[in-house]
Homo-oligomer: A and B are copies of this chain.
Amino acid sequence: MIVPIELLPPKPVKYDITIDALPKLSFDTKVVVVTNPTVAGFHLDRLLEKLEAKQLHVVTVPDGEQYKTLQTVEQILDECFEQKLDRKSLLIAFGGGVIGDMTGFTASLYQRGIDFIQIPTTLLSQVDASVGGKTGVNNKYGKNLIGAFYQPKAVYIDTAFLETLPKREFAAGVAEIVKMAVMFDREYFDFLKTADLGDEAQLKEAIRRSVELKAWVVNQDEKEAGIRAVLNYGHTFGHVVENETNYTTYLHGEAVAIGMVMANALAVEHGLMQPEEAEEVKALLEKYALPTDYTIENIDDFYEHFFLDKKSANNSIKFILPNGIGNHKIVKDLDETVVKRVLAQFGAKQ
């Protein structure tokens, strides 16, 4: 006999992203703040001034992507157990994407899920990690291979935290903003061309549009089956660039900038984009001193790398290409010789 089980869906997730000076936050529960020494050194005092809780504890984990591991998450979990957090307790992620991913993941695991709040302190995490619910860690097999989909209860984006951010890291965040504009919104792209993101009001406006676009995309496709893949524009090429340079030469956003230029070249080759449009994107990236040039030493090696990516496990590569500026097209099963001809535009001069 068969018993059909149909479970009701959980309620829709609702939360607010506040883009403003960090307000006073008061909680009648236990709170654990997760941060790293760099962010804590610059900004922890200011956070603690704003924060009231029934019991407050700060966990500091080492700074850097190489510590985004299950071991670090276990360390955070242990501190949560030592603090005897209950199911109503709250975690606060205070840092960049690494802190956000690990804190959200820890919150998802603790007693099968407690609340967490994001206070992202890098531009990349402000525009990218505020929406989407992807949490997790790396392991020896690759990046973000272990994790959970888990949504925050609130996100506070305070651009004042960006004042201590290195210029290159700021630009890496801009690369993700440009990505959203090229994929989804020509008018937003034009705004970015003329905007001064050093100006607080214009920066906040750019962040607002970026998170709104991402929320729209995520709602189209909560599980990255279809349109959410478009958020990987620039990433298919960028991952290979990162890998070839051992993750030491470029920040992720910088590699994505190079990857977008490469994807644009492929789009031009396929008549999806005018050469002038590709130039427009390149010029916008260069306005923020993002790298747009890369020398591919070995075209065949570069091409083979596509197939090592976890997202192309079934041996067909999906390319996310712009379709003009402000629109996109997912293209599969491209001819190898065509792709290599485009890669050759970036090839080492003989």
Contacts and interface: CB of A to CB of B under 8 A. Distances in A.
Interface of A: 1-20, 70, 74, 77, 81, 84, 86-87, 108-113, 131, 133-134, 136, 139, 141, 144-149, 151, 204, 208, 211-212, 215, 218-219, 222-223, 310, 313-314
B3 A215 contact: yes
Contacts of A144: 112
Contacts of A77: 139, 146
Contacts of A11: 9
Nearest to A204: B1
Given A6-B14, A112-B134, 8 more contacts: A1-B20, A2-B16, A4-B17, A5-B15, A7-B215, A7-B218, A110-B145, A111-B147
A112 B313 contact: no
List the 7 closest A-B pairs by CB distance, nearest first.
A86-B313, A9-B9, A7-B13, A3-B17, A81-B141, A112-B147, A9-B12
Contacts of A219: 6-8
19 contacts: A1-B204, A2-B17, A3-B16, A3-B17, A3-B208, A4-B16, A5-B16, A5-B131, A6-B13, A7-B215, A9-B9, A9-B10, A10-B223, A77-B139, A86-B310, A108-B148, A109-B146, A111-B146, A112-B134
A149 to B, nearest CB: 6
Stoichiometry, copies per complex: 2
Nearest to A149: B112
Contacts of A12: 6-9
A314 B30 CA distance: 12
Contact of A7 (B86, B113, B222): B222
Nearest to A15: B5
A232 to B, nearest CB: 14
A3 B16 CA distance: 6
Q: For A7, A211, A313, A314, which residue has the most chain B Cβ atoms within 10 angstroms? A: A7
A158 to B, nearest CB: 12
B81 A145 contact: yes
A131 B4 CA distance: 11
Nearest to A13: B7
Given A1-B19, A17-B2, A313-B84, A148 B112 contact: yes
A10 B10 contact: yes
Contact of A113 (B18, B109, B148): B148
A290 B133 CA distance: 46
A192 B175 CA distance: 65
